[in-house]
Structure 1
Amino acid sequence: MGARITRTFRNFNLENRAHREIGKAKPHAAPRYPSHKDTMEQAPTIKESIHKKDDPLLSLLKSVYVESKDPSSQVIEQSQAETEEEERRPLKFSLPGDPYGILDITDVPKGKLSIVEALKALNSHKQSPKTWTPEKIAQEYSLDLKDTKALVDFFAPFNVQIKPPKTEDPKQIKAT
């Protein structure tokens, strides 16, 4: 019954409202911008200049001569070997045993840390921040000072909290 009443109010004077909407002035469409086809029809000189051979530019292009030589492979290998030796440093700490294959790594690039070293550095900074400052950590592990400050500020080793057991015995259901 309620739907019938709302339908009558909704359809009341519907035809007059429709004629009123149809009779309103419509908004004008935005002007169309000239397309690519319109510009090609209007300017045939552009079409001709695209397909025309330009002799001054062609002569300048012919005057350009590029000569390239590949460096010998021995020089490349020596430079790579030198940079690898200079940029690597031996590990400071490693895990005992071989649980995750970390012992396979004997050195790391300068400016980087292994997981074990990062945890050791963060833990030592957490335990004594006055002695293990970001400057000392950066010097010890050959790191950038900005990266070390960010490491100390935004990363923290896990906080282990051991809660003591409750003193009173928990209530148990007795079997009868």
Structure 2
Amino acid sequence: MGKALSLISNPFKNFNLESRAHKVISQPKPVPAPRHKKDQLDFERLMKEYPEAYQESLKKNEQLDKNLRDVYVTSHDPVVETKTEANPDRPLPTDRKTVGMFLYGVKEPNHVPLGKITLANALKFISKHQNEPLDYNAKAISAEYSIPKNTVKDILKHYRVFEVYIPQERNTKAKFAGPSIPKVQIIKDLRKELPPGNQGNEKT
């Protein structure tokens, strides 16, 4: 029912809509919306009790308007002074560039405590021990890097450096994987032949 009523009332609402809109727009001052009944009663009471204040509010304050025109606001970030004492043992980074790739994927520490060793030094003495196992043994490594001898023995026992062996001569013939016997064998077998002159008489 509501849809039927809207179909009937819409043509009347839209009648001469453009000219009515131009009429409202062309007014010098827009008409305010009607007040609520309670608000209207309060407004009339204030006009009766304080007519001078109402008339004063309708006037334009030239001094206030001049002050608003003279105001010019500029914003800027305040300079914050940070007074922090830098710790020489833990200095803050000064270079903000992207950190590149390290040799072994991790950055080597600047200070290594006693009993510890870096990855680069570990690979170095493992390689030297593989080349010279008698001269560069666990005792010499322990004295050079100040690490326990038992730890050096365990490292030399369980870790090795990769080595590449390239043969001097390559005389090995290539071998192809596959069955040695061919899958298809041609078998030649003799078949019986019919005597000449009897081919038409034989039944098939």
TM-score (norm 1): 0.35
Instruction: Say which structure is richer in helix.
Output: 1
Looking at both structures, which has the greater relative contact order when contacts are Cα pairs under 8 Å and sequence separation is at least 6?
Answer: 1
Larger Rg: 2
